[in-house]
Structure 1
C-alpha cells in the first residue's frame, strides 16, 4: 500500500511519531550541515535513517555541484524506496529466505525482497529516527554523531544493539564515516552500510557510464537469480567483473547483470587487511574524483540498474545508470555461508566499520 506523501520543508524541524508503538516518545527530525573552512565542500545529513542527503564538491574549474542523489525534503527520504544515502542495517544486503541459524537456534527475519530479507527488513535502520548525540559544526574537522538502540527481536534479529554513526569532514575535501555497534546481550549478525548514490558530474546530470572506476579486488562472490551468493569466491580475471585497472563503466556494463537487470550489482572481496584502499572513481568531464578507503572485507558495486523515473532534488529525474553505489560491507548472506568472513558480533563485542572518501578535482 502506498503511503501518503508528506509535504515537509527541509528548513523545518519535523516531529514524527515512532512507528509501531502507540504512545512512544516523539523525536525531532532535523537537517544538519557540515562545511569545510573554505566553504566549497559540504554535506547535509538527517537523523531520519542517519541519511546522507547531499555532498557539495568542486570540479576542476571550481564549480560546485551536489554529487549524490536524493530528495529536497526529509519527506522524500521517509517515503522513498531506493535507500538514497541511508545508513542500512541491522544487516545490509540480502539474507537468503530471511533465515539463519546461530548457536543452534533458527531466526526468521522480515521478508521484503521476494523470498529473501533485504537491508534489515521492512523497517530497518534506514527507516527509523536516530538520536543526535553530538553536533559540532564549527571546528576544523566538523562532525555529527547519531545513535540508535535496536531492540531484541527487531525485524527478527536477536539481542539489543547499540549503534553509532559519525559523519565527519576529516580533511578539507575528505568525508569520513565511522560506524560502531555493541551487542548487549545476545550474539547477532551485524552489517552496516552507507547507501549513497554517486554521480560526480552532479546528481541528475545523466548516466555515469562515462565514469572511470577501479575496484582493487581480484575476487568476487557470484550470485544466483535471486541475488543470493552461491558460496563461491571466484576470480575476476578474464571476466567483465575485472576492474582492477581504471575502466570506463560503459565499456563493460552491458556484459554483466544481476537479478534480471543489466549492470553491476555484485560484491567484491577487497584486497588486503585492515583499513585499505578499496576503489577509485573519476568523472573525466568534470574532473571530480574520489578514493574510497575502508576496513570491511567486501564492497558492493551497484550501478542503479533499477532506477526509473525517480523524481529527485531540484526537479531532476533519475533514471537507469544515473549513479553508482560503492557499499563497503560484510559479504552478503554471510550468516549462511561458513566460508565467508564472519558477520557475527558476540555480547560485549564491538563492530567497527570505517570509510573515507578522499575527493579531488
Structure 2
C-alpha cells in the first residue's frame, strides 16, 4: 500500500511516556515530509504540537534553503521551551489574569505569572496529535492531524475536536494550512495560531527583510502586554507598515515589554473573517518573498525580541531578531473585551482558520 510505504520511509519514531500516566502508556511522535513533484519545495511536520519543522524553498538562483527556525531532532522539540513552528491553543496569545466571564460564569485558567499565554502550561503545542491522513506526494500532498481537547484542559470549558491540515497546493510554491475546531458540549473560546519563525535568508538575522502588514489599525497594550481595549490607527506611529519597510530601520523605534522590537497585534484591513491578503515578507539578498493570506481579524507581528543563544538546525545559534513571526489570530484577550471580534464557539459550532503562504523568488 502506497501510504504504508510512505510511512515506513518518512516516519521517524520517538516513543514518549504521556505526562502524568501511571501505567506508562506510550504514544508515537513522528516526522512527516511533504514534497512537490519537482522536488524543490517541501515541508516537514511532526505530530508533536502539530509543528511545522521545516519549509524548504529555492531562492532567485535556485539554491534551496530551510526558511523556518527549528531543531534537527524530534526530541529537541519535545524538550524545548520555545514554540518554533507549533500550533498554539486552545487560545493563542494572552488572557489577562488567566480568567474571563462566559455566560455569567467566571472561568479560571492555568496561568503563567499573571496571564495565560498560548493556552497554558500544556497547550496544544505540548501534546501529541493523531495522524488522521498522510499523502506525502502527488499533485497536492497533505497531512491532517487531530487532537481531542478535554473539558477542563488548562481550565478551558468543554470538549473540543481539533483538526490541522498542511497541504502543498494551489500554486507551485504555496503552502495551505487549515485549522478547524468543533465545540462538542459547552461554549468555549477558540483561537489557534501557527507560531512559525520565518527567516527567508535561511540564516543570520532578519533585519534585512522588508515587511508589509496590510493593517490600518493595531491594538495597543499595557506593560503586561495585555490590550487596553483600544483599536488605534497606525498613522503617524512606528507601527505603520502598510508600505514595505526595512525591518532594521524600524525595529529600534518600537518597544514591547521593555524590549526593542515588534510584538503587536494588527487589525487586518477588510472584513474580519474574509479570506484576504494579510502581510508580505521579502529578503532582498536571496530574492525570496512570502505573501500571507488568511481569514482571521488579527495578525501578531513578533520579531524574535527574546530569542537568545538557542542552538538550532545544523548547529546554528539563533539570536535576537533571528526571525519574523506572522501569526494570524483573533485579537489577544478578546474574551475580556466585548468590542473585539468574538472568539467564542457555541456547542455544535465550528471554528475555521485558513492560511495560505505564497512563496516567490
TM value normalised by structure 1? 0.95
For the 8 Å contact 1:37–1:172, the answer to whether it is kept is no
For the 8 Å contact 1:270–1:297, the answer to whether it is kept is yes
Provide the C-alpha distance between the structure 2 equivalents of 1:282 and 1:20, rounded to a whole number of angstroms.
44
Q: Which runs of 5+ in 2 are unaligned?
A: 1-9
For the 8 Å contact 1:94–1:332, the answer to whether it is kept is yes
For the 8 Å contact 2:36–2:137, the answer to whether it is kept is no
Residues 94/330 of structure 1: CA separation in 2 closer, same or farther (3 Å cut): same
> For residue 120 of structure 2, what is the aligned residue in structure 1?
121
Residues 341/298 of structure 1: CA separation in 2 closer, same or farther (3 Å cut): same
For the 8 Å contact 2:215–2:242, the answer to whether it is kept is yes
> For residue 271 of structure 1, what is the aligned residue in structure 2?
269
Deviations 1:88-123 (A, max 9, x none): 0000000001001100111111111x3100000000
For the 8 Å contact 2:37–2:137, the answer to whether it is kept is no
Provide the C-alpha distance between the structure 2 equivalents of 1:117 and 1:222, rounded to a whole number of angstroms.
18
Task: Give yes or no for the alignment of 1:262 onto 2:260.
Answer: yes
Task: Give yes or no for the alignment of 1:305 onto 2:301.
Answer: no
Q: Which runs of 5+ in 1 are unaligned?
A: 1-9
> For residue 348 of structure 1, what is the aligned residue in structure 2?
348
Question: In the TM superposition, what are the counterparts of 1:176-255 in structure 2 within 5 Å?
Answer: 176-202=176-202, 205-255=203-253
> For residue 150 of structure 2, what is the aligned residue in structure 1?
151
Provide the C-alpha distance between the structure 2 equivalents of 1:51 and 1:334, rounded to a whole number of angstroms.
25
TM value normalised by structure 2? 0.95
Task: Give yes or no for the alignment of 1:288 onto 2:288.
Answer: yes
Provide the C-alpha distance between the structure 1 equivalents of 2:174 and 2:12, rounded to a whole number of angstroms.
28
Provide the C-alpha distance between the structure 2 equivalents of 1:211 and 1:344, rounded to a whole number of angstroms.
36
Q: What is the total number of aligned residue pairs between the two structures? A: 349
For the 8 Å contact 1:265–1:300, the answer to whether it is kept is yes
Provide the C-alpha distance between the structure 1 equivalents of 2:22 and 2:337, rounded to a whole number of angstroms.
39
> For residue 32 of structure 1, what is the aligned residue in structure 2?
32
Provide the C-alpha distance between the structure 1 equivalents of 2:21 and 2:13, rounded to a whole number of angstroms.
22
> For residue 4 of structure 2, what is the aligned residue in structure 1?
none
CA shift, 1:24, in A, is 6.7
Provide the C-alpha distance between the structure 2 equivalents of 1:166 and 1:25, rounded to a whole number of angstroms.
26
CA-atom RMSD in angstroms: 1.0
Residues 130/24 of structure 1: CA separation in 2 closer, same or farther (3 Å cut): farther
CA shift, 1:304, in A, is 0.1
> For residue 106 of structure 2, what is the aligned residue in structure 1?
106
- Stretches (4+) displaced over 2 A: 20-26
